Amino acid sequence: MDAARTLRDLYAYNGWANDQVFGVCRAVDRARLEEQAAGTYGSIEDTLKHLVGVEDVYLFMLRSEPIDRAGDEEVYFRRELGWFSERAAQLSTGYGELLAAAEPEFYDEPLTVPWFDLSLTKHDGLLQVLHHSAQHRAQVLSVLGEHGVKVPDVDYILFLISSRGTPA
C-alpha cells in the first residue's frame, strides 16, 4: 500500500469524524457551546470554528492558492456553527479531490505557512491538518462528555464499518 492511499483514507476518516462531532453538537444547548471550556480553544464553538478555519486555510496553501478563507477573516469566524459544519463537509471533499489528483512529487513540494518559520513540505502540511483536527475533536468530545453529553466514538474502525457496512 502506498502513502498516498493512506493519506486519502485518513482524510476520508477526518471528514467522517468531523461530521460526528458536529452532529453531536447540533443537539447541545447553544449556551454550553459558547461558554469558555478549559482545555479547548476558548469555547467548544470557538474550537470547532478554529478547526475548520485551519483546514480551510491549509487547503488553499496546499493548492498553492492565495489564502482566502471565503473572504474577510473576521466575517468568516462570525458565521453560525451550522455554516462551519457544512464547510467542513466541503473541505473533506476538497481534500479528497486534492489527494486523488496529487502526483508523487506533490508531497515533496515546499509549503509556506506564514505563521511558522520552518521549512515544510506539502506532506508535512497534510499531516499537520490531520493531527490538528484530531486534537481539537478530542478536546471538544472530552468537554462534552465531562458535562454528561453522550459523545460519539470516533474510532477508525467505526468509520470503516459505517463506510463499508457491517462485515458479514
* pLDDT single digits (tens) 72-92: 888 999 999 999 999 999 999
CATH topology of domain 1-99+151-168: Four Helix Bundle (Hemerythrin (Met), subunit A) (1.20.120)
Among all chains, which residue has been given the C-alpha cell 468530545?
Answer: 141
* pLDDT single digits (tens) 92-147: 999 999 999 999 999 999 999 988 899 999 999 999 999 999 999 999 999 999 99
pLDDT, the chain, mean: 93
What does the domain layout of the chain look like in residue ranges? 1-99+151-168
pLDDT value, residue 168: 47
Q: What is the pTM of this model?
A: 0.93
- By CB neighbour count within 10 A (0-12 exposed, 13-18 middle, 19+ buried), where does 80 fall? exposed
Residue 67 pLDDT class (50, 70, 90 cuts)? confident
Give dist(CA 94, CA 88) in Å, integer. Answer: 10
